[in-house]
Chain A
Amino acid sequence: MSAGRLVGVVLVSHSASVASSVAELAKGLAGGKESALVAAAGGTPDGGLGTSADLIAEAARSVDAGAGVAVLVDLGSAVLTVKAMLAEGDELPHGARLVDAPFVEGAVAAVVTASAGADLDAVEAAAKEAYDYRKV
Chain B
Amino acid sequence: MLVLDAAFFRRWMAAMAAAVDREAGSLTDLDSAIGDADHGSNLQRGFAAVAAALDKEPPATPGAVLALAGRQLISTVGGASGPLYGTLLRRTGKALGDDAEVTPGRLAAALGAGVDAVAQLGGAKAGDKTMLDALIPAVRALGESSFGAARSAADEGAVATVPMQARKGRASYLGERSIGHQDPGATSSALLIGTLADTAEADA
Chain B neighbourhood of A52, CB < 8 A: 75, 78
The listed residue with most B CB atoms (<10 A of its CB), out of A48, A54, A87, is A87
- Which listed segment binds B: A64-72, A77-85, A114-122, A126-134? A77-85
Residue B83 is within 8 A (CB to CB) of chain A in the complex:
yes
> Within the complex, what minimum Cβ distance (angstroms) separates B129 from chain A?
15
CA distance A19 to B130 in the complex (A): 28
0 or 1 for each of B70-106: is its CB under 8 Å from A? (1 = yes): 0100110011101110110010000000000000000
Residue A15 is within 8 A (CB to CB) of chain B in the complex:
no
Q: How many residues of A contact B (CB 8 A)?
A: 16
0 or 1 for each of A39-80: is its CB under 8 Å from B? (1 = yes): 000001000101111100000000000000000000011001
Q: Is the CB of A80 within 8 A of B121?
A: yes
Chain B neighbourhood of A76, CB < 8 A: 79-80, 169-170
Chain A neighbourhood of B83, CB < 8 A: 77, 80-81, 83-85
Residue B122 is within 8 A (CB to CB) of chain A in the complex:
yes
The listed residue with most B CB atoms (<10 A of its CB), out of A76, A80, A85, A88, is A80
Q: How many A-B residue pairs have CB under 8 A?
A: 49
B 5-19 contacts with A by CB, 8 A: none
Q: Please classify how large the interface on chain B is, using the bins under 10, 10 to 19, 20 to 34, 35 or more.
A: 10 to 19
> Within the complex, what minimum Cβ distance (angstroms) separates B82 from chain A?
7
CA distance A83 to B86 in the complex (A): 12
- Contact among A50, A53, A83 for B121, CB-based, below 8 A: A83
Name A56's closest neighbour in chain B (CB-CB): B75
Chain A neighbourhood of B79, CB < 8 A: 50-51, 76-77
Q: Is the CB of A77 within 8 A of B74?
A: no
CA distance A80 to B78 in the complex (A): 11
Name A75's closest neighbour in chain B (CB-CB): B170
Name B79's closest neighbour in chain A (CB-CB): A77
Q: Is the CB of A81 within 8 A of B74?
A: yes
Name A46's closest neighbour in chain B (CB-CB): B78
Chain A neighbourhood of B169, CB < 8 A: 76
Q: Is the CB of B74 within 8 A of A44?
A: no
Q: Is the CB of A80 within 8 A of B75?
A: no
> Within the complex, what minimum Cβ distance (angstroms) separates A18 from chain B?
15
- Contact among A53, A54, A80, A85 for B80, CB-based, below 8 A: A80
A 72-127 contacts with B by CB, 8 A: 76-77, 80-81, 83-85, 87-88
Chain B neighbourhood of A80, CB < 8 A: 80, 82-84, 121-122
Chain A neighbourhood of B86, CB < 8 A: 84
Q: Is the CB of A53 within 8 A of B75?
A: yes
Chain A neighbourhood of B42, CB < 8 A: 50
Known pairs A53-B75, A54-B75, A76-B170; A84 contacts B87 (CB<8 A): yes
Q: List 9 A-B contacts (CB under 8 A).
A: A44-B78, A76-B169, A80-B82, A80-B121, A83-B83, A84-B83, A84-B86, A87-B117, A88-B74
Chain A residues proximal to chain B, CB less than 8 Å: 44, 48, 50-54, 76-77, 80-81, 83-85, 87-88
Q: Sorted from nearest, which 3 A-B pairs have the closest CB atoms?
A: A50-B78, A84-B83, A80-B83
